[in-house]
Structure 1
Amino acid sequence: MELLQRNPTEGIYPATDDYVHAMEVRGAERLLFVSGTMGLDADGKPAETLTEQLELIWSNLRTILASADMTVDNIVRLTSYLRDASDAEANAAARTAALGGRAVPTTALVVQTLDSDWLVEIEVVAAG
């Protein structure tokens, strides 16, 4: 599988270090669409802080990806749903750390979650 970042430089705003405009995926045999994943523990209880929820989310995502013989290196698209816009920086830092600095197309939205204890939810698309 080959991943090609597509970041045109004319007629559009520039991409940043942790963001790409588009990712072309060549030679992928499988796609995995992961539902919005929350910072819930194995008992379905949310962690109390944003940092703890982000840690659980990335742990949960790794578990889901592993069930398909994939890792975070297979993520080609990511959407974050934040309860509060002030959490954007912490979310971006957690994403960057989880992906080892690898930039993927990403979108972050501020939403009202179904449960007020859910501070962030992340969905991904992976290819392999």
Structure 2
Amino acid sequence: MQLLPHNPTEGVYPATDDYVHAMEVRGAERLLFVAGTMGLAPDGKPGATLAEQLDLLWTNIRAILASAGMTVDNIVRLTSYLRDASYAEANAAARVAALNGRAVPTTAIVAETLVGEWLVEVEVIAAG
């Protein structure tokens, strides 16, 4: 599988260092669409803080990817749903760390979550 980031420099605003405008995937045999995943512990309880929820969230995403024989290196698209806009910086830092600095197309949306204690939810698309 080959991943080709696309960041045109003309006709569109510039991407920042932590994301790309588009990711072309060539030669993938499988696609995995991961539902919105929250920062919940195995007992279903949310982490007490945003930092804890972000840590749990990425632990959960890694487990889901592993169940399909994939890792975070297979992520080609990511959408974050934040309960509050003030969570954007911490969410971006957690994403950059989880992806080891690899930039992928990403969107962050401020939305009311189904449960007030759920501070962030992330869905990903992975290819392999």
Relative to the length of structure 2, the TM-score reads: 0.99
Structure 1: 4+ residue segments shifted above 2 A: none
- What corresponds to 2:118 in structure 1? 118
In structure 2, the residue matched to 1:8 is 8
Structure 1 Cα separation of the partners of residues 109 and 15 of structure 2: 18
User: Are residue 43 (structure 1) and residue 31 (structure 2) matched?
Assistant: no
**Alpha-carbon distance, 1:80 to partner:** 0.2
Distance 1:43 1:10 in 2: 49
Percentage identity across paired residues of the two chains: 79
Distance 2:15 2:91 in 1: 18
Secondary structure of 1:32's aligned partner: strand
Query: Alignment length, in residue pairs?
Result: 128
3-state SS of 2:122 partner: strand
Counterparts of 2:48 and 2:42, CA distance in 1 = 14
Q: Could you say which residue in structure 2 is the equivalent of 1:90? A: 90
After TM superposition, the structure 1 = structure 2 runs for residues 69-80 of structure 1, keeping only pairs within 5 Å, are 69-80=69-80
Q: Secondary structure at the match of 2:23?
A: strand
User: How far apart are 1:86 and its partner, in Å?
Assistant: 0.3
**Aligned mates of 1:47, 1:102 — CA distance in 2:** 26
Q: Deviations over 1:73-110 (max 9, x none)?
A: 00000000000000000000000000000000000000
Instruction: Find the aligned partners of 2:123 and 2:19 in 1 and give their Cα distance.
Output: 16
Question: Deviations along 1:62-81, whole A, 9 cap, x unmatched?
Answer: 00000000000000000000
TM-score (norm 1): 0.99
Displacement after TM superposition at 1:5 (Å): 0.3
Q: Which segments of 5 or more consecutive residues in structure 1 lack a partner in the other structure?
A: none
Q: RMSD of the alignment, in Å? A: 0.3
